[in-house]
Amino acid sequence: MPIYAYSGRHVDGSKASGTIDAVGRSEVVAQLERQAIIPVSINAVKGGKTDKGAAKKGQINFEIFETATLDEIIMLSRQLASLTRAGVPIVASLRGLSDTVKNPLIAKNLAGVADNLEKGQELSIAIAHYPKVFSDLYVSMIRIGESTGRLDDSFSQMASYLDLERKTIRNLKQATRYPTFVFAAIGVFITIINLFVIPSFKNVFDSIGGQLPWQTIALINVSDFTLAYWPHVLGVGIAASVLFYRWKKSPDGRLFWDRIKFKIPLVGGIFYRAALARFSRTFSVVLAAGMPIEQGLAVVAKAVDNEFVGAKVDQMRVGIERGEGFTSAAKRTAMFSPLVMQMLAVGEETGRVDEMLAEVADFYEEEVEHKLLGLSSAIEPILITIIGALVLVLALGVFLPLWELSSAINR
């Protein structure tokens, strides 16, 4: 079983640190809560075998290729909310759903959760074994539902939150689908031109002889290079992609990429507003559920799925632990606009921070939708310019010598 080193504070403000054996970070948080310790940092210091054991030598573990879609998790959350509200025992609900869901990963995970519950584990700890379906935020929300006796509300809140998350993701994909398709088509077009069209025209130009225009010479040189070194170009491209992917997965690389992608022209602002909307919505949900603000910020820092925004959220948590107000800590991060800061200040003064955060999330989500609607209009002139430039280069490079030859013949 993995070992986690933690640091935190007792309720009286004194520091606490040590190590805990647990199956995941969520279980560490649960154990610290029982000891009245507010976690500040949790880091894995030693790995171990999973509860199912290591895969046998020579045996392929196909579970690593299995995934659960957001739609399936939303439907699962709604079903669990309905069954729990109807008074069906949670173990019976999990067993029944594991027999009816089509996704094998969800079915196995639900059966595993039911087994853990029958062994005496709490539901929040039982689902923490299965992070592919139940995220840290999900585990935290279920823990709150257990402590308040309102599991049905926790499942309903998660379903509503994930539904809004799905809407944002769908809007982003819809807005980027058209330019992605156009750029892919341009790439295929250039490849075909270089590998097949230009070499055919080159043979014609060689048979004609004479001085060729510089545009034609440039096209022929690019085509010759592509034909001669395309395996090397392909290999370098694949290697660069793999290295970039691995770098982006590293802590430093992910932090840098998550920060720099907010500065990408046209789409950077959309990514930034979407991340802030996710932070506001998630934090609103955990506060409305009754989670302490420091612990809620620790959970939200991981749930925003952006290392740069997560680091800013951690700065807020540290500031609040030092005695700063929520609005003051948020202002120090420089994440929010003055209008949003005013809304947060009103929420802090009236004791309705969760409601104001929900309104902030609505505000940013509306901005994201507005920006997405204008994205296609902003990208279309760029695409038309690129396509026009390609056509112009091909017209000058391929047809200009033919026009000159035709003019010479007609004289």
Per domain, the residue ranges of the chain are 3-46, 69-163, 164-411
Asked whether the predicted pLDDT for residue 53 surpasses 60, the reply is no
If pLDDT is split at 50, 70 and 90, which confidence band does 208 have? low
pLDDT reading at 410 higher than 60:
no
Instruction: Note the CATH number of domain 69-163.
Output: 1.20.81.30
Percent of the chain predicted with pLDDT > 90:
11
pLDDT value at residue 239: 94
In this model, does residue 408 exceed pLDDT 70?
no
Q: What is the mean pLDDT of the chain?
A: 81
Of the pLDDT bands very low, low, confident and very high (cuts 50, 70, 90), residue 405 is low
The pTM for the full model equals 0.68
164-411 matches 69-163 in CATH topology: yes
State the pLDDT confidence band at 54, using cuts at 50, 70 and 90: very low
Strand arrangement, sheet containing 15-21: 15-21, 3-10, 37-46
Q: For position 406, what pLDDT does the model report?
A: 63
pLDDT tens-place string over residues 72-85: 999 999 999 999 99
Measured CA angle at 369 (ends 175, 158), to 5 deg = 100
Asked if residues 145 and 154 have their Cβ atoms less than 8 Å apart, the reply is yes
Residue found under tokens 């040189």: 221
Max Cα–Cα distance, the chain, nearest Å: 99
- Kindly tell me if the per-residue pLDDT of 122 is higher than 50: yes
Residue 337 has pLDDT above 70, yes or no: yes
Name, in order, each residue with C-beta under 8 angstroms of 158's C-beta and a sequence gap of 6 or more.
77, 137, 138, 141
Tokens standing for 312?
Answer: 């800013």
Checking 104-108 for CB contacts under 8 A at 24+ apart, the result is 104/66, 105/63, 105/66, 105/67, 105/68, 105/132, 105/133, 106/68, 106/72, 106/76, 106/133, 108/63
What's 164-411's CATH class?
Answer: mainly alpha
Taking the C-alpha atoms of residue 300 and residue 224, their distance in angstroms, rounded to an integer, is 53
